[in-house]
Amino acid sequence: NAGVTQTPKFRILKIGQSMTLQCAQDMNHNYMYWYRQDPGMGLKLIYYSVGAGITDKGEVPNGYNVSRSTTEDFPLRLELAAPSQTSVYFCASSYSQSRGGGYTFGSGTRLTVV
């Protein structure tokens, strides 16, 4: 089925380790986003991209990096994992940022840093 695919679904990291969260969409959406969800805090935007080769910071970008070499893929990189990065990460995409555009979300990656 068409949609947003995130891998892995679960991961445990040790402090200081690095990893990449993968996100791919097959809907030819130009816009892609990474959010983190912490209990009782809603979703906070980490990074977003308006097209291949273009990325920008969101509300909480520190400790993360992204790249967008193709329309389909938008990986999120954690270089030096910290306990504060324990969270559920959601990738999303949309066909536009017009007023009516809704997002399609992946099923999330639950990350624990110990």
Q: Between 17 and 30, name the residue whose CB sits nearer to other proteins.
A: 30
Which one of the spans 20-28, 70-78, 79-87, 92-100 is the region binding other proteins (CB under 8 A)? 92-100
- Cα 107 to Cα 39, 46, 61, 83: the distances in Å are 16, 17, 21, 22
- Among the listed ranges 20-28, 41-49, 61-69, 79-87, the one in contact with other proteins (CB under 8 A) is 41-49
Tell me the C-alpha to C-alpha distance, in Å, between residue 16 and each of 63, 89, 113. 11, 18, 9
Find the binder of other proteins among 76, 90, 93, 113 (CB under 8 A).
90
Torsion sign (Cα): 11, 106, 66, 75 = positive
User: Which residues in this chain contact other proteins in the complex, by CB under 8 A?
Assistant: 4, 33, 35, 40-43, 45, 48, 50, 56, 58, 90, 92, 97-108
